[in-house]
Amino acid sequence: MTTTTPATDAARALRALEDSSPTVRLQAALAVGTRPDPCFVGKLVERCAVEPEFFVRDMLTWALVRHPVNLTLPELLREVRSERAQARSQALHTLSKIGDRRAWPEITPALLSDADDEVARSAWRAAVVLVPEGEQLSLATVLVTQLGRGERPTRLSLSQALVALGEAIVPALDTATTHPDPRVRTHALATTALLREPEAGFECAIEEAKRVAALTGAPGADDENRADR
């Protein structure tokens, strides 16, 4: 009869995280999270940087959250400085789930404006979770520099992050509504509308922002309409 030990079980799980089958990798991440062990942390973080399947990455994050923060935090903070975009993005996502504010100093303006949209979106979400009390206005000031960026999913993520900061965003948004770029102005107006009526939805907020821009005679409103077609 073949007997197994905790060490052989752990070795088997670590190998399974690299299996060619996404289902096997998913099951391995679930098993690792169900029975946390310090020996898993490095491999979980490493795998997050290269795992191609979203649902497996999500389970890897869950498994990391199940481990002690004093083990995962240093590894994740190193990853946010990685040259690999997926490593940065997934580390930021995991930090947002852990919610330990010791990670806040690593949420730099460079990350919040990262050239990769997925990294930037993860940084925005992490920032609003980790921002210390009293720093919301400073964070909002950085986030508004990204208004008008990317396609609608990216703009929606930014609006959601800003709205999560509450009334602290109002001064920065008010300034952005006079920006010379019509995309920035419309995005600022839409985010303001979402702050006032979160249940309205982003698409309605965008359309309302375009109408406001047109009624106030803001130059470039038509340019924004054309840009979204």
Mean pLDDT of 6-24: 89
Tokens 């997925």 correspond to what residue?
Answer: 118
DSSP assignment of 37-60 equals -HHHHHHHHHHHTT---HHHHHHH
Give the tens place of pLDDT for each residue, 88-104: 999 999 999 999 999 99
| Mean pLDDT for the chain overall | 89
Q: How many helices and strands in the chain, by DSSP H and E?
A: 14, 0
Where does the pLDDT of residue 214 fall: very low under 50, low under 70, confident under 90, or very high at 90 and above?
A: low
Mean pLDDT of 20-40: 96
Mean pLDDT of 97-118: 97
Residues 6+ apart with CB under 8 A from 3: none
pLDDT at 222 over 60: no
Where does the pLDDT of residue 211 fall: very low under 50, low under 70, confident under 90, or very high at 90 and above?
A: low
Where does the pLDDT of residue 174 fall: very low under 50, low under 70, confident under 90, or very high at 90 and above?
A: very high
DSSP assignment of 135-171 equals -HHHHHHHHGGGTT-SSHHHHHHHHHHHHHTGGGGHH
Give the tens place of pLDDT for each residue, 62-81: 999 999 999 999 999 999 99
The topology (CATH level 3) of 1-130 is Leucine-rich Repeat Variant (1.25.10)
Q: Give me the pLDDT at residue 9, please.
A: 75
Q: Using CA atoms, how far apart are residues 229 and 227, in angstroms rounded to an integer?
A: 6
Where does the pLDDT of residue 205 fall: very low under 50, low under 70, confident under 90, or very high at 90 and above?
A: low
Give the tens place of pLDDT for each residue, 42-62: 999 999 999 999 999 999 999
pLDDT at 134 over 80: yes
pLDDT at 225 over 50: no
Number of residues written out for the chain: 229
Hey, where are the domains in the chain?
Answer: 1-130, 146-229
Enumerate long-range contacts of 140-146, CB under 8 Å, 24 or more apart. 140/165, 140/168, 140/169, 140/171, 140/172, 140/173, 141/172, 142/109, 142/112, 142/113, 143/112, 143/169, 143/172, 144/169, 144/172, 144/173, 144/175, 144/176, 144/188, 145/113, 146/112, 146/113, 146/120
